[in-house]
């Protein structure tokens, strides 16, 4: 079957983002740092902001629960840009090659509406996408089926007759890929750029 659109996740595929990049500067001890990120500023807490909660509200709520960690909690979004180390060149190379091959490209990312503009302003390769669905803007989040439906609706604004099985979704989180497949999309679990490129070519995508 023909692939007519490629949808990219961002973090772990196109961007090197990790709280570790910041908190290595703030908590020298590795075990203490791991404990803090697994128990205080957790991924689940950050996901609430990616799902639409404001950074101020998320920060306020967490400080109320853990006032003894106030300074470290405040740093999470005050210095958020230090978690975004930069682009992942191998992933961006696939994106660029697909663009040069005239493949329609779309983004589907779990990302706060308040921090996404920072990336949009600084990384020109994001202009290669015809549209980008940002979870924090819709207040929906992967792997909720609703965000994939919203993404498909936006894709159809450019490709009106496209069917779900003509879309391939690339994400480094297997649960997010499985959710897309459950809706009839094709999916690639991104482990490395080399393997993702091979999976695309196996599906007949020439680039």
What are the tens digits of pLDDT across the range 175-189? Answer: 999 999 999 999 999
* Model pTM above 0.85: yes
The distance between the two most distant Cα atoms of the chain, rounded to a whole number of Å, is 56
Q: What is the CA radius of gyration of the chain?
A: 18
- Per-residue confidence band for 82, with pLDDT thresholds at 50, 70 and 90: very high
Average pLDDT value for residue range 46-58: 98
Q: Which residues contact 71 (CB under 8 A, 6 or more apart)?
A: none
Please give the backbone phi and psi of residue 186, each rounded to the nearest 5 degrees, phi first: -90, 150
For the stretch 122-128, contacts whose Cβ atoms lie closer than 8 Å and that sit 24 or more positions apart, written own/partner, are: 123/15, 123/87, 125/14, 125/87, 125/92, 125/95, 125/96, 128/95, 128/96, 128/99
């Amino acid at each position: 079957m023909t692939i007519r659109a490629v949808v990219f996740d961002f973090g772990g595929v196109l961007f090197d983002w990790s709280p570790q990049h910041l908190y290595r500067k703030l908590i020298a001890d590795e075990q203490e740092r791991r404990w803090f990120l697994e128990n205080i500023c957790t991924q689940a807490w950050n996901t609430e902001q990616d799902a639409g909660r404001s950074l101020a509200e998320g920060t306020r709520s967490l400080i109320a629960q853990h006032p003894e960690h106030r300074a470290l909690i405040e740093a999470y979004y005050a210095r958020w840009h230090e978690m975004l180390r930069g682009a992942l060149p191998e992933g961006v190379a696939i994106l660029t090659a697909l663009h040069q091959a005239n493949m329609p490209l779309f983004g589907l990312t779990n990302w706060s509406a308040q921090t996404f503009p920072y990336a949009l302003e600084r990384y020109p390769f994001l202009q290669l996408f015809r549209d980008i669905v940002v979870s924090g803007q819709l207040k929906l989040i992967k792997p909720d089926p609703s965000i994939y439906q919203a993404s498909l609706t936006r894709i159809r604004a450019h490709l009106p007759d496209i069917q779900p099985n003509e879309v391939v979704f690339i994400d480094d989180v297997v649960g997010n890929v499985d959710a897309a497949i459950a809706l009839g999309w094709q999916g690639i679990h991104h482990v490395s750029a080399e393997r993702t490129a091979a999976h695309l070519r196996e599906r007949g995508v020439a680039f």
